[in-house]
């Protein structure tokens, strides 16, 4: 039931664009919050990033599930007045513009929180609210390069490589949602809201805490491998990954591969020794695994209780019996498409409908009516190009 969801009754004003802010607000919407997404007359810029129809790109869909869309020009006084009415009713405001933008609109945290002391105001920036890079645009590719993610994902020849999804935006949305939850919990005790500020840069730092510590501990020298053997290996018909964590697992791997001589080889005596000889060991395993199909090796390694998995694409992942059993994916009825596969939000009930993302301005008239605008006032806003009904 909707009223049983964690954030049922929470009112969220989502003024953000792109992914980090919108996905954060979607996490609230999928847990029951009433989220109104404010878009400029041209729509959120993410609606033209990537393929898709009618502004429903994959990123626009996944980042805006369960919201209502109000399309209005915040640069115009009458448009800004509508947003101020929304803010007066909101529990949470989410924005991810560069720090000076909301101040120019008169919708900054200092102004709105002074008027509405219970408001939890979330600002997501690229690099922070001050400093030499305060106005630098923080895109995914910039943040992956800046924060070491691309170097962590470097190729064998040392060339940095961007991870093929929006990691900085996604992890920032998760950290921002956690910070919002903490602020709302504090408000439940004190009655006071607060200004929550996170940056993509600091979220990427927190996300990479362990490798950052490792780089400091082993500065100027190669860090020892976590486990050997490990890696992705080509098979006769695909790829598998395997990983040996403990000495007893190593012993079982040797038996499963018919390599009992390795068990007494001093070069492979323990993980430190195997680490010194990782290249030769991984090469030998790669040559052996290439001779049989993936299914053979998965069955062999699982029987030996060695960590392994077949490398799958998304369709294989969705159709796997374990995911089917867990009900991980639902079917999203998302206009203008027929249906799309969509994972449920972890920790929420499975099996029910997943609320679709709105079209640009789909709920403009309805939201304005809820704010007390008469039909002729709404019509005047539309005629002036200040409000757009999708």
Q: Residue 217 domain-assigned?
A: no
Residues 239 and 379 in one domain: no
- 3-state helix, strand and coil shares in percent for the chain, rounded to the nearest 5: 45, 15, 40
Between CA 246 and CA 227 the distance in angstroms is: 8
**Listed residues 290, 314, 338: the one ending a domain:** 314
Residue 215 resides in a domain: no
Is there a single domain that holds both residue 72 and residue 199?
yes
Same domain, residue pair 126 and 239: no
Residue 323 lies in a domain: no
Q: Which of 314, 349, 375 is the last residue of a domain?
A: 314
- Regarding whether 283 and 138 lie in a shared domain, the answer is no
Same domain membership, residue 346 and residue 236:
no
The terminus-to-terminus CA distance of the chain in angstroms comes to 29
- 119 inside domain: yes
Are 120 and 91 spatial neighbours (Cβ–Cβ below 8 Å)?
Answer: yes
> Does residue 152 fall inside a structural domain?
yes
Q: Are 243 and 304 in contact (CB under 8 A)?
A: no
Are residue 175 and residue 276 in the same domain, yes or no? no
The pLDDT value recorded for residue 178 is 98
> Quick one: 18 and 108 in the same domain?
yes
Domain range for 149: 2-209+329-388
Residue 64 lies in a domain: yes
Residue 31 belongs to a domain: yes
Same domain (yes/no): 292, 367: no
Alpha helices in the chain (DSSP H): 20-29, 58-62, 77-89, 99-104, 109-115, 140-146, 149-152, 167-190, 200-207, 209-217, 247-256, 271-276, 278-289, 294-303, 314-319, 321-326, 364-370, 375-383
Say if residue 240 is in the same domain as residue 364.
Answer: no
Model pTM? 0.94
* Total structural domains within the chain: 2
In a domain, 221, yes or no: no
Order the strands of the 68-72 sheet from edge to edge.
195-199, 120-125, 92-95, 11-14, 34-39, 68-72, 387-388
Tell me the per-residue pLDDT of 5-44, one tens digit each, with 9 for 90 and over.
999 999 999 999 999 999 999 999 999 999 999 999 999 9
Indicate if 106 and 6 belong to the same structural domain: yes
Task: Count Cβ atoms below 10 Å from residue 217 Cβ, excluding itself.
Answer: 9
> Helix or strand or coil: residue 266?
helix
**Domain identity same for 53 and 143:** yes
State the pLDDT at residue 1.
47
| Confidence (pLDDT) at 132 | 96
355 secondary structure, DSSP code: P
Please tell me the distance from the alpha carbon of residue 311 to that of residue 135, in angstroms, as a whole number. 41
Co-location of 282 and 205 in the same domain: no
CATH number for the domain spanning 164: value is: 3.40.50.10540
End-of-domain residue from the set 291, 314, 337: 314
The answer to whether residues 55 and 360 touch, using CB atoms and an 8 Å cutoff, is yes
Residue 102: partners with Cβ closer than 8 Å, 6 or more residues away: 15, 95, 108, 109, 123
Of 29, 16, 131, 36, whose CA–CA distance to 371 is shortest?
36
Q: Domain of 253: which CATH number?
A: 3.30.1540.10
pLDDT block averages, 10 residues each, the chain of length 390: 82 98 98 98 94 95 98 96 97 94 95 97 97 94 97 93 96 98 98 98 98 92 85 97 95 96 94 92 96 97 97 97 97 96 95 96 98 97 96
């Amino acid at each position: 039931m909707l009223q049983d969801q964690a954030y049922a009754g929470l009112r969220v004003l989502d003024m953000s664009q792109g992914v980090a802010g919108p996905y954060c607000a979607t996490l609230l919407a999928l847990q029951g919050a009433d989220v109104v997404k404010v878009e400029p007359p041209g729509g959120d810029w993410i609606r033209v990033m990537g393929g898709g129809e009618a502004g429903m790109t994959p990123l626009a869909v996944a980042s805006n599930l369960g919201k209502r869309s109000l399309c209005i020009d915040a640069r115009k006084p009458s448009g800004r007045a509508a947003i101020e009415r929304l803010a007066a009713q909101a529990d949470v405001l989410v924005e991810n513009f560069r720090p000076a933008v909301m101040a120019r609109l008169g919708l900054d945290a200092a102004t709105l929180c002074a008027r509405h002391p219970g408001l939890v105001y979330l600002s997501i920036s690229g690099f922070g609210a001050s400093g030499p890079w305060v106005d630098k645009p923080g895109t995914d590719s910039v943040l992956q390069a800046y924060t070491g993610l691309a170097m962590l994902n470097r190729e064998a020849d040392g060339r940095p490589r961007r991870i093929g999804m929006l990691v900085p935006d996604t992890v920032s949305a998760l950290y921002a949602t956690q910070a919002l939850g903490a602020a709302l919990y504090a408000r439940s005790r004190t009655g006071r809201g607060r200004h929550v500020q996170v940056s993509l840069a600091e979220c990427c730092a927190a996300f990479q805490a362990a490798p950052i510590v490792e780089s400091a501990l082993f500065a100027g020298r190669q860090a020892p491998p976590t486990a050997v053997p490990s890696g992705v290996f080509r098979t006769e018909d695909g790829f598998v990954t395997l990983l040996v964590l403990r000495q007893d697992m190593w012993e079982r791997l040797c038996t499963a591969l018919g390599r009992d001589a390795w068990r007494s080889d001093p070069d492979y005596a323990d993980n430190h020794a195997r680490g010194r000889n990782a290249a030769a060991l991984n090469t030998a395993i790669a040559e052996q695994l290439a001779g049989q199909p993936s299914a053979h090796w998965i069955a062999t390694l699982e029987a030996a209780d060695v960590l392994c998995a077949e490398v799958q694409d998304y369709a294989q992942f969705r159709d796997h019996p374990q995911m089917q059993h867990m009900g991980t994916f639902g079917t999203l009825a998302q206009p203008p498409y027929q249906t799309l596969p969509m994972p449920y939000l972890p920790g929420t009930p499975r099996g029910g409908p997943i609320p679709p993302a709105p079209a640009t301005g789909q709920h403009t008239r309805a939201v304005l009516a809820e704010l007390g605008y008469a039909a002729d006032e709404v019509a005047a806003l539309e005629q002036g190009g200040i409000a757009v009904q999708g």
